[in-house]
Structure 1
Amino acid sequence: MAPTSEPCPCGLPATYAGCCGRFHAGQDAAATAEQLMRSRYAAFVVGDTAYLLRTWHSSTRPLGLQLVPDRHWTGLTILGTSDGSPFHSEGTVEFRADHQAGAQYENSYFTRENGAWVYVSPVD
């Protein structure tokens, strides 16, 4: 886990504890699809596989998750969003997640399950 007083890995100007750390700890839930995307990126950075699985839609969630060892994430850029506000029931977030060996690009689909935002899958 990241120290709570360190900057949040998601790139927003807040500490980890005041930003994504509160979601990881179960103290709060993401209000938007983008907020969930950022918190999931931060979970990859800090190695919180329990959070990643908890925020994955039940229809697409894997049974387990092994993170790539020695993968050092270096930054997140949100390239675009559609819907996904507190008033929507679904949305997409297009992003680039940089790491030491390159970058991952994805346009992710999010929906609500039991009232909470969850990741479903990449958009084809």
Structure 2
Amino acid sequence: MARRPARPSRPARSSRSAVTADSPCPCGMDATYGACCGRFHTGPATAPTAELLMRSRYSAFAVLDAAYLLRSWDPATRPPTVDLDPATRWTGLEVLDTTEGSPFHTTGTVTFRAHFTQRGEPGVLEEHSRFARHDGAWVYVGHA
């Protein structure tokens, strides 16, 4: 498996009520939300890599888009619902490592660190996520 070193992301700051198509994307990429993750959330486009799917799912948490989280989850592991806590504010994403997950692969992993505040208290979620192709599109399978 080819490993790619961590790619720095610019710090992402998001406020759900303030995220518009012209806002910086919550995932931390140097693009607007509409040109980055928003196009996956609202349109027929699908993420071409596992990393971009993971970034778009992080942004979906930031903008409280439960429908996208469910759509981008493998049907074999998808829960019936996703409960998002509006008191959680996602404040930054670091992609630490990826394996496979390119347009030419059928599986991939992404290790990341997601920063948040919940009721004023800072927190960090670190996860090694697994992704696979389902009907030609990348989907989240679960974490290791």
What do the CA deviations read for 1:58-96 (whole angstroms, capped 9, x no partner)?
Answer: 011000110123000000000000000000000000000
5+ residue gaps in structure 2?
1-15
* Distance in 2, Cα, partners of 1:61 & 1:78: 23
| Maintained 8 Å contact 2:64/2:86 | no
Amino acid at match of 2:102: S
* Distance in 1, Cα, partners of 2:132 & 2:67: 19
* Distance in 2, Cα, partners of 1:37 & 1:14: 16
| Residue 24 of structure 1: how far off its partner (Å) | 0.1
Task: Please identify the structure whose Cα radius of gyration is greater.
Answer: 2
| Maintained 8 Å contact 2:39/2:45 | yes
* Distance in 1, Cα, partners of 2:135 & 2:105: 14
Q: Does 1:111 align with 2:128?
A: no
| Maintained 8 Å contact 2:111/2:126 | yes
Q: With structure 2 as the length reference, what TM-score do the two structures score? A: 0.83
5+ residue gaps in structure 1?
none
Find 1:82's aligned residue among 99, 111, 116: 99
* Distance in 2, Cα, partners of 1:56 & 1:118: 5
* Distance in 1, Cα, partners of 2:46 & 2:77: 20
Q: Among all aligned residue pairs of Structure 1 and Structure 2, give the percentage whose two residues are the same amino acid.
A: 55
Structure 1 stretches of 4+ moved >2 Å: none
3-state SS, counterpart of residue 91 of structure 2: strand
